[in-house]
Amino acid sequence: MACVVAELMAGRPVLYIHYEESSPDSTIERLRLLGVLDDMLFPPLFRFVAPQQPIDADDRAALLKPPPALVVHDGVNEAMALHQAEQKIEGASEFRRRLVTPFLQAGAATLACDHVPMSRDGSRRDAYGTVHKGNALDGARIALENRKAFGRGLRGVSNMYVTKDRPGHLRARGRATQVPGKTYVGTLVGDDSDQFAPFSLMFYAPRAGDQPDDGQDGPAATGVDSQLAEDVWEVIAAQPDRTVGSLRKLYAQMRKAGKQFTESEARTAVEDLVADDRLAEVRGRGGAQGYQAIVSSAAASAAGSGAP
């Protein structure tokens, strides 16, 4: 979001494609919070698109008029599901050919926002799904690891790491960690804790000798409560066929069940459950990405026998 602000402040057009939210409201709220004026939030300077069907050649031609300076793809996994691209090498290549390369060829910089599962392997450097997402990348791959939750009235903190750097200018400004290929480049702080001061977003470069705790993993590193993952699994398991047809349907069922969550945290919890083989990815209606709760044979047997 800070990159979007920088481009808008410089008068350069930005195209924001959000595959996980149908309304621009939250995106515009964050941009206003970061100091963007209302008259900057209209075409042709700023365009927000929320695709509900696959983007074709005619759509791309329209999005390239005028040519944007920056294109943001927010929600890579949902984008791949929308375009029926599987989380495999072929799917990642199709996503890049269809949605990234045309904008690069027009001279735009592109940013893609993705998720990593709450893996207990602290050395993981790749986004959720196929590693080809990173292998095909001609640029930088940046990982944000949350240390303190962001939110209204809170002071959020995330460490920033470079896990791929082509052609190699970023690592020189960072600090090596104990994980090969993972370089600490600074700390991002969003502060909304002072009710008498405006929200601030600051990036602090590493100082000599800085060695953040990059070995931490699980809920403490991601900022996602492990209880939320259990809530997500239980809500899905309670649905017919233990299945929800899309993330939006999951959010609706979570709200109906009275669960406290944010959509971002719920998405991360889903990805962790998939990585832990507690959820299976299934095809929902209209090609949407759905999820089915996996019940162990022991648990299924106990449920069938009425055991406590």
- The string of pLDDT tens digits covering residues 101-121 is 999 999 999 999 887 655 544
For residue 140, give the nearest of 114, 170, 109 by alpha carbon: 170
Is 135 a residue whose pLDDT tops 80? no
- Residue 210 CB contacts under 8 Å (≥ 6 apart), including other chains: 175, 184
Is 222 a residue whose pLDDT tops 50? no
Q: What is the pLDDT of residues 69-97, one digit of tens each?
A: 999 999 888 888 887 755 555 656 777 88
Mean pLDDT of 51-63: 92
Mean pLDDT of 28-51: 96
Mean pLDDT of 33-61: 95
Task: Report the chain's terminal Cα–Cα distance, integer Å.
Answer: 49
Domain ranges of the chain: 1-114, 140-219, 224-301
For residue 88, give the nearest of 98, 80, 100, 97 by alpha carbon: 80
Q: How many CA atoms lie within 13 A of 7 on its CB side?
A: 23
**Distance of alpha carbon 162 from alpha carbon 91, whole angstroms:** 24
pLDDT band at 273 (very low <50, low <70, confident <90, very high): confident
The CATH class for the domain spanning 224-301 reads: mainly alpha
What would the CATH number be for the domain defined by 1-114?
3.40.50.300
- Residue 50 CB contacts under 8 Å (≥ 6 apart), including other chains: 17, 18, 19, 21, 22, 23, 24
SS3 state of residue 27: helix
Is 220 a residue whose pLDDT tops 50? no
pTM as predicted: 0.63
Locate 69 and state its tokens: 């300076």
**Distance of alpha carbon 6 from alpha carbon 51, whole angstroms:** 25
**Distance of alpha carbon 227 from alpha carbon 234, whole angstroms:** 11
Mean pLDDT of 300-304: 42
* Type of residue at 219: P
Residue 83: count other Cβ atoms within 10 Å of its Cβ.
19
